[in-house]
Structure 1
Amino acid sequence: MYELNAPAKLTLSLIITGIQESGLHELEAEMVTITLADTIRLSEGKTQVTYRGDYPISPPPEEDLIVRALNTVGQSMKVDVNKRIPPGGGLGGGSANAAAILRWANFKDKNGGILLGSDVPFNIRGGRASVAGVGELITHLPYEDRVFTLILPPFGCSTADVYRKWDEMGGPKSCNGNDLEPAALELYPELGKWKMALEDHTGKTARLAGSGSTWFVEGNFPAKGFVVAQTTKENF
């Protein structure tokens, strides 16, 4: 039996710098890993993934990043996931799970990781980093002990749809540190009330995590309905 920790990724800033011919968006971002995390237990057996906890999802095997990561490292394992990172929350939960499998298998090939998802290369090592390109250009930065308060809406945002809406809107820039925020709010207007709830609770301007749906502010503001998380150091 192996027990793995899969910390969420929080994108503190996100600037879109260009679009490749393939349609993938290039960016400059600062990312950190935080204490909000999934717990993954591996045991011997034919590959089968069961999700429990706050988000007992059931993705098809061909879309499950844990299955794909196991295939990448040539392993077959029974997997039990205590899922605390919300799917579609902009916190890279699927990528965190895939990265945990790659770390367990001592697989550190960034090029192989990027095939699983743009956040996987960062999540393999975690900590704090500047990320560029389509997620493959990573400059690790000194650890900073910081605390954030998050609000997790009961719905997710489609990353692909948010980027598509950003294109349709002509590539708007945000004054709040995340260029995807205007597109996410246009596509999911209900995000606005969750942003307002966090701002009313903390008195601070909320920022969108990645493509959403999570909002966050820096600081420790515990209360029912909010999640307080600290930054974590690198995984190795």
Structure 2
Amino acid sequence: MARADATTRRDTARAKINLTLHVGRVIKDPHDPFLNYHPLDSLVVFADIGDEIEMFPADKTTLSIDGPFSLGLTVGDDNMILRAIDAANLPPEYITLTKNLPVSAGIGGGSANAAAILRMSGVDDLHIAVGLGADVPVCVLSQTAHMTGIGEDVTLWPDLGQLHAVLVNPGIAVSTAEIFRAFDAQDDIRDTPRPQQLSGSLLERALDGRNDLQPIAIAQAPIIGEVIAALGRQKGCTLARMSGSGATCFGLFESAASACAASKDLQTQHPDWWVMQTVLGDA
């Protein structure tokens, strides 16, 4: 194995937050019955926290994982980091992942990790990115954006500023595949997702939308509803909602002070929850 030196590259795989997530009827791949796609329309922002990744040239590709949420993660072929290395046809690398974000949490952890590998390697082909997952293209850019199609159409929305927020995960993992299966079983699904509001402030655009997967996730894991309610009761909270397919939820707050107070209160009331004050969006 090579040793870390000037060739070492470092990046932060920032947490992805779906301020809105509108989903359309499933599109089945005519060539592969096991592949299904959902058209999306989502307002996506990124937090100022994330997993930390280092990589440097080596004789053999190796992935080492540590950090507070490393337990249970595998380094098999299905790992998103190793898939990104293969998809980009990169030479052997030694990679360390410090897993700071909860796993299967709806905040793009695996997608953001894969995107960080592509960024560090200078790979900006979004076709490669979307082949790894619907969230990977927007995570490669890691900026406030409007995501449509099956994730491959990303329009950056600069100059919308930032929002003070608190992220909460109740310590459960939900299955994205199961959430989407339950979504597909509904009768009243739009063929195309509800359009995202294209004007106004970042907060106004978030307030106008919704998360179509939130009711399904709450039905499968009622504690998600408890988290949203707990956030909504906090002073200064302007919006409480689930991100992605869950189980992480976010609260948007009027100020850094109100977000800080809410974070401390939630940590005191629910010491078994992961609670993190953060800033969402681009400076």
| Contact 2:57 2:91 (8 Å CA) reproduced | no
User: Unaligned regions of 5+ residues in structure 2, if any?
Assistant: 1-7, 30-35, 195-207, 268-273
Name the stretch that deviates more: 35-44 or 173-182: 173-182
User: Would you identify which runs of 4 or more consecutive aligned residues in structure 1 move more than 4 Å?
Assistant: 171-176
| 1:34-65 CA distance string (max 9 Å, x none) | 11211101133222212211201422421101
| Contact 1:118 1:134 (8 Å CA) reproduced | yes
Task: Establish whether residue 13 from structure 1 lines up as the match of residue 28 from structure 2.
Answer: no
Q: Secondary structure in 1 aligned to 2:39?
A: strand
CA distance in 2, matches of 1:197, 1:83: 26
Task: Establish whether residue 193 from structure 1 lines up as the match of residue 219 from structure 2.
Answer: no
Residue among 76, 81, 90 paired with 1:61: 76
Residue 161 of structure 1 and its aligned partner are, at CA, apart by 0.8
| Contact 1:18 1:27 (8 Å CA) reproduced | no
| 1:62-100 CA distance string (max 9 Å, x none) | 110100111122222111111112111100010111001
Structure possessing the higher radius of gyration over alpha carbons: 2
CA distance in 2, matches of 1:51, 1:176: 36
CA distance in 1, matches of 2:21, 2:213: 8
| 1:201-230 CA distance string (max 9 Å, x none) | 346452000100011111242213521111
Distance 1:110 1:193, change over 3 A: same
Distance 1:171 1:59, change over 3 A: farther
The residue that corresponds to 1:117 in the other structure is: 133
| Contact 1:126 1:233 (8 Å CA) reproduced | no
| Contact 1:51 1:82 (8 Å CA) reproduced | yes
RMSD (Å) for aligned C-alpha atoms: 2.1
Output aligned runs, 1:29-178, within 5 Å. Answer: 29-45=42-58, 46-56=60-70, 57-73=72-88, 74-143=90-159, 144-171=161-188, 177-178=210-211
CA distance in 2, matches of 1:151, 1:27: 24
Q: Secondary structure in 2 aligned to 1:218?
A: strand
| 1:85-127 CA distance string (max 9 Å, x none) | 2111100010111001101111111111111111100011111
TM superposition score normalised by structure 1: 0.91
Residue 171 of structure 1 and its aligned partner are, at CA, apart by 4.8
Q: Secondary structure in 1 aligned to 2:94?
A: strand
Name the stretch that deviates more: 166-175 or 132-141: 166-175
| 1:118-151 CA distance string (max 9 Å, x none) | 1100011111110011100111101412221111
Count of paired positions: 234
CA distance in 1, matches of 2:86, 2:51: 20
CA distance in 2, matches of 1:226, 1:187: 22
| 1:12-40 CA distance string (max 9 Å, x none) | 00111332123311111000111121110
Q: Secondary structure in 1 aligned to 2:246?
A: coil
Q: Secondary structure in 2 aligned to 1:226?
A: strand
Residue 189 of structure 1 and its aligned partner are, at CA, apart by 2.0
The one-letter amino acid of 1:55's match is F
Q: Secondary structure in 2 aligned to 1:194?
A: helix
CA distance in 1, matches of 2:248, 2:151: 20
The one-letter amino acid of 1:121's match is P
Q: Secondary structure in 2 aligned to 1:99?
A: helix
The one-letter amino acid of 1:216's match is F
The residue that corresponds to 1:4 in the other structure is: 11
Residue 199 of structure 1 and its aligned partner are, at CA, apart by 2.6
